[in-house]
Amino acid sequence: MTTPRLTQSTGPQFTRILGLGAARGEHAVPNADIIEPINSSDEWIRQRTGVITRARAGAEVHAVDLATTASLEAIERSGIPAERIGAVIVATISNTVQTPSMAALLADRVGANPAAAYDISAACAGYTYGIAQADALVRAGVAEYVLVVGAEKLSDIIDPTDRTISFLLGDGAGAAVVGPSQTPGISVSSLGSDGSKWDTIGMTATFDQWRAGDVDAPTIRQEGQTVFRWAVWEMAKVAKATLEAAGVQPEDLAAFIPHQANMRIVDEFAKQLKLPDTVAIARDIADTGNTSAASIPLAAHRLLAEHPELSGGLALQIGFGAGLVYGAQVVVLP
């Protein structure tokens, strides 16, 4: 008996983002509405974070609802029929449903059933991980098109009295359709982690501690100073290495789209990278808040809405957060 020769998949040489979609929580929550439990002020929050209002969703709106709205827009903008999507990847850390995945429900809702569907947990780097995976899946011939979504309803996991991170957070979803391209549209991705800082951003308790009645429901916290140092100075090194690996100089960029963690991080990051004035810098956090995995596609979508001339230009996108994990790549803006 002879062993049959296996068929392995191959795909197109290049990929790109074909379309983006966005959805934000329907309520614009100003600083004035959240300062009392943290004994703070509008000025304190603006000065330290640059956040003026954060988008939050009402009780009836779930992360998957935001993901659906964003995905339908991305699919429409990409111009491809939903049934040709071969994989749906959702990056999220705030889904209150442990299993099944948000991605399977989303795939069905947007007309991509029976696409491969799975969630990934890479916090604020989740979207960049998803783009790297989508690029690989398409080029390997596993999927013709891939829907990548960052979707968070972070207001479900905050503590209104927490002064470390909760007041920064918003709800939203950003989506991208990745597919074949005639020319390179997604660079080499830099993905990595530093688990030695595993406890610098995370939950206050475990699910089983909560079930045992020992603690309140788990909410999110961070060690701001440690995270700030890592997010600016360590991530500046990753950003520079990503540009080099992509074969791109800072002056070649049309836009810089970092994870919208805190305006002070965005500002200091841009300073460290010595970006020329010609590079548009995403500053969506001011009235969206930090939406973790959703922040990069939301910020990219907004930049393109406000500056349509950026379409076709190169954008450096970098996500970083709980893990700690990071991901970065240069993409051609759709």
Of 39 and 225, which has the nearer Cβ to another protein? 225
CB of 221 to another protein, least distance (A): 15
328 close to 189: Cβ distance less than 8 angstroms: yes
Of 70 and 322, which has the nearer Cβ to another protein? 322
Of 198 and 233, which has the nearer Cβ to another protein? 233
Going by C-alpha positions, the residue among 10, 331, 16, 330 that lies closest to residue 180 is: 16
Of 38 and 61, which has the nearer Cβ to another protein? 38
Whose tokens are 């004994």? That residue is 39
Spatial distance between the Cα atoms of 284 and 302, rounded to a whole number of angstroms? 7
Of 127 and 230, which has the nearer Cβ to another protein? 230
Contacts of 136 (CB under 8 A, 6+ apart): none
DSSP string, 130-187: HHHHHHHHHHTTS-SEEEEEEEEEGGGG--TT-TTTGGGB-EEEEEEEEEEESS--B-
Strand arrangement, sheet containing 280-281: 190-193, 325-332, 314-321, 253-258, 280-281
Tell me which of 95, 259, 262, 301 is the catalytic residue. 259
290 among known catalytic residues: yes
CB of 167 to another protein, least distance (A): 14
301 among known catalytic residues: no
CB of 224 to another protein, least distance (A): 6
Which element (helix H / strand E) includes 265? helix 263-273
Tell me which of 31, 262, 290, 301 is the catalytic residue. 290
C-alpha distances out from residue 54 to 45, 50, 209, 256, 269, Å: 12, 11, 31, 21, 22
CB of 256 to another protein, least distance (A): 19
CB of 272 to another protein, least distance (A): 10
Residues that bind another protein (CB under 8 A): 47-48, 223-226, 228-229, 232-233, 262, 264, 268
**What CA dihedral angle connects 75, 78, 82 and 87, to 10 degrees?**
-90
31 among known catalytic residues: no
In DSSP terms, 192 is beta-bridged to 326
Catalytic residues: 124, 259, 290
